């Protein structure tokens, strides 16, 4: 049976750039002095140099109701999603749309019914018979989860392609009405972006292989991470105990997954870890005994654009290919955390574009 390959990954950032200093400046006018000072301290602590938004900040800050936020989200999500998906399918025709049998679309930052993929099928030239699998409630882990699903869908005799599309526009959820500390973190950590990947069931040596996949839901943790839907929009649920939970439970989970594939953590040559935030990354490093070098691509992606929710792992993978491409055949682990608390993992084998080919 052929091992699925990630034959192409494309990423896209929206046009409006916001530096750390500009973030503080824009938000200060909407907050009492004490809250504005707290925002400034949090901005400095995040290490995020700049973020990107789908609309000018002045327009975003005027959005108040769920309807206003979602009405703004829909056209922006359609356009950014179409742009990145078109690039992933390739203007040169080497990933023809007619070869795509399934599209898995993920977004947790807005609501569309019909889902985003239905709006894009015609523009992308995909068949009306393309199977559509929209995912909305996996949060930051949805990018890895969607890739795992793509690999499993390709585990069948007929050659096929799966297009994975992630569009996350977190800026439409900015909360300025009596913001809690958690709201502040959400306002300052998250950014807008999109990514698309083509996963193939035909081995051609063009990209990293998805050797194995795993998903796990930690018991008794549903109150640790998630979202609440309020009259003013989504509000982040983030327990202060989450970093400790990850630090104490992650290593066993990783060792069990790798062990089933006759691999140990010492065999992993590169890491693609979703950066939920600085404390989450520190917890992952402590739990898995990782060095700064192991997480360099993750930290550099985080500092350049912030938390892009489910799209982040694709940005990290491309950054890794540009800066420190792993040798062909090297094993890597991609992982992300989502509401639940859940953990999604992929065991990768480097090759093709990821290794500089």
**Catalytic positions:** 140
**Tokens 């996949």 map to which residue?**
213
For the packed helices 66-89 and 116-124, what is the interaxial angle rounded to 10 degrees?
Answer: 40
b (16+ CB within 10 A) / e for 122-144: eebebeeebebbbbbebbbbbbb
Contacts 24+ apart (CB under 8 A), 212-215: 212/257, 212/260, 212/261, 212/346, 212/347, 213/147, 213/148, 213/151, 213/152, 213/344, 213/345, 213/346, 213/347, 214/148, 214/257, 214/344, 214/345, 215/145, 215/148, 215/342, 215/343, 215/344, 215/345
């Amino acid at each position: 049976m052929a091992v699925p390959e990630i034959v192409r990954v494309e990423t896209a950032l929206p046009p409006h750039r916001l530096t750390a200093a500009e973030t503080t400046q824009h938000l200060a006018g909407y907050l009492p002095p004490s809250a504005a000072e707290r925002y400034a301290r949090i901005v400095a602590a995040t290490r995020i140099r700049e973020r990107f938004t789908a609309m000018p900040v002045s327009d975003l800050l005027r959005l108040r109701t769920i309807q206003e936020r979602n009405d703004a989200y829909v056209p922006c999500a359609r356009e950014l999603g179409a742009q990145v998906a078109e690039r992933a399918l390739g203007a040169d025709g080497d990933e023809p749309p007619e070869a795509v049998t399934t599209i898995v679309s993920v977004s947790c930052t807005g609501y569309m019914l019909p889902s985003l993929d239905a709006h894009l099928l015609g523009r992308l030239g995909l068949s009306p018979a393309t199977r559509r699998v929209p995912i909305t409630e996996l949060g930051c882990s949805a990018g890895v989860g969607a890739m795992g699903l793509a690999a499993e869908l390709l585990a069948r005799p007929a050659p096929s392609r799966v297009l994975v599309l992630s569009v996350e526009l977190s800026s439409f959820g900015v909360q300025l009405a009596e913001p809690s500390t958690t709201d502040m973190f959400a306002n300052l950590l998250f950014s807008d972006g999109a990514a698309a990947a083509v996963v193939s069931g035909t081995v051609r040596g063009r990209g990293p292989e998805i050797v194995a996949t795993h998903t796990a839901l930690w018991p008794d943790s549903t109150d640790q991470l998630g979202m609440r839907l309020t009259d003013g929009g989504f509000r982040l649920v983030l327990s202060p105990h989450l970093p400790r939970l990850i630090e104490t439970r992650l290593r066993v989970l990783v060792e069990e997954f790798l062990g089933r594939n006759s691999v140990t953590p010492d065999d992993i040559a590169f890491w693609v870890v979703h950066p939920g935030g600085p404390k989450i990354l520190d917890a992952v490093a402590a739990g898995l005994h990782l060095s700064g070098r192991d997480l360099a691509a993750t930290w550099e992606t985080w500092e350049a654009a912030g938390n892009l929710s489910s799209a982040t792992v694709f940005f990290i993978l491309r950054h890794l290919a540009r800066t420190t491409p792993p040798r062909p055949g090297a094993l890597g682990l991609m992982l992300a955390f989502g509401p639940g608390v859940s953990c999604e993992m992929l065991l990768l084998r480097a090759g093709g574009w990821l290794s500089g080919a």
